[in-house]
Amino acid sequence: MKIDNVANQRQICIQHVTDFNLKFTLESGQSFRWNRVDDAYFGVVEAQILKIQQRGDTLIIDSSKGKPIATEHLHHYLDLHRDLGSILAAVNVDAYIEQAINRFWGMRLLNQELWETIASFILSQNNNMARIRSIIQLLSERFGQRLAFDGYVDYTFPLPQTLADAGVDEIFACGTGYRARYLWNAASTVANGKLELEALKRMDYPEAKQELIKLEGIGEKVADCICLFSLGHLTALPIDVWIKRIFERVYLRKRATSREIQEFAKNYFGEFVGYAQQYLFHYAQNQPDWADAEHLALRDKKR
C-alpha cells in the first residue's frame, strides 16, 4: 500500500488497499458511531472528525484536525495490517460461511478505542442497534466535546472522568435505562485508576477477558465484544442472540449452551473464529434464509 498526502495537510490518501470494503466494515454492527452521508462516512476517532471515502482500492480520509490522525493509526483502526485473504481462507470451511464471505468480502474487524468500546458494549446489553446508537449520541452530545467539519457536527466520546463526575442520574437521563449504574461504575473504575486501560491492551486474550468481566455489567459476551472489536483478539467469540441462533439452527441443530457453542466454534473455525463470527452475524442479519443455511452448512464441507 502506498501512502500520499494529497491536496492539503488535512487529507490522507491510501492507495492500493486490497480486500477492504468500507461500507461493510462500518455498517456491520461493531461500531455505533459512523454515519453515511452520500458516499462518505463521518465518525469521530482520536478526538477528531474523520471523513472517509472509498473509491475502488483508494481510501480518501479528511480530518477536522490540523494535524490529522497518523496513517499508521488509521491502518490499525481499520485492521488493514492484516492479511484478510488468508484469514478468510482459514475460516472458509463450508458452503454456508463461504456465501457469507463472498457476499461481504472486505469486511474487517475494527480496532476501536478501548474506553469507547467498553462503554458502548455495556450499553448494548439487552438492547437494539438503533437505540444503542441514539444513547451513545446523546451521551456524546451532553458530555463530549463538540466538533464540526465539512457541514458535519459530532462530539468526542465522553471521558471516564467526565462520566464519573456526572453521576448515575445524569447518565440515566440519556436513556440508558438500568445500565446507567453499570456505565457510571465502569467510568469511575477507569477514572480512579483501578482499571488501567494501557495495561489491559498489553494482556493476552484470556487475561483481558477475565479482567473485563470483573466490571459490573460486563459478562462473557460483552467482554468478548471488547476483546474482538477493540483489542484485536481474533479468537474471541461474542455469543449474542444472533450467533446463538446461527449455531443452534445451522451447525449444532439443537439447543446449546454458550459453553457448547464456544467449544464447537473454536474447534470448527479455528483461531480466527472472531472473523468467522462477524461474517456469519452480518450475513444472517441481511439474508436470514435458515432452511437454506442448514442445507449448506452440512453439505460441501471442506474439512
Interface ranges with DNA (CB under 7 A):
28-30, 124-132, 172, 175, 177-178, 213, 215-223, 225, 238-243, 257, 259, 277-278, 281
- Which residue has 480466527 as its cell numbers? 272
Measured from the CB atom, the residue of 11 and 170 that comes closer to DNA is: 170
Cell of 2: 502506498
Distance (Å, whole) CA 257 – CA 264: 11
Q: Give the residue with the Cβ less far from DNA, 263 or 300.
A: 263
Which is nearer to DNA, 10 or 23 (by Cβ)? 23
Q: How far is the CB of 66 from DNA (least distance, A)?
A: 34
Helix axis angle for 114-123 and 220-229, nearest 10°, is 150
Question: Is-contact 35 28, C-beta < 8 A?
Answer: no
Residue with cell 457510571: 184
Q: 209: closest CA among 226, 196, 195?
A: 226
Whichever of 124 and 156 has its CB closer to DNA, that residue is: 124
Close Cβ partners of 63 (under 8 Å, ≥ 6 residues apart): 10, 11, 12, 48, 49, 50, 51, 69, 149
Q: Which CB, 98 or 240, lies closer to DNA?
A: 240
Q: CB 240 → DNA: shortest distance, Å?
A: 4
Q: What cell numbers appear for 11 in the block?
A: 487529507
Residue 37 — φ and ψ, nearest 5°? -125, 110
- Name which of 5 and 127 has its Cβ closer to DNA: 127
Q: Under DSSP, is residue 148 helix (H, G, I), strand (E, B) or coil?
A: strand
To the nearest whole angstrom, how small is the minimum distance from the Cβ of residue 217 to DNA? 5
Find the shortest distance in angstroms from Cβ 151 to DNA. 25
Q: How far is the CB of 219 from DNA (least distance, A)?
A: 3
Least separation in angstroms between CB 72 and DNA: 25
Q: How far is the CB of 8 from DNA (least distance, A)?
A: 35
The Cα 95–Cα 242 span in angstroms is 19
Which CB sits closer to DNA, 26 or 80?
A: 26
Give the CA dihedral 254, 255, 258, 260, nearest 10 degrees: -40
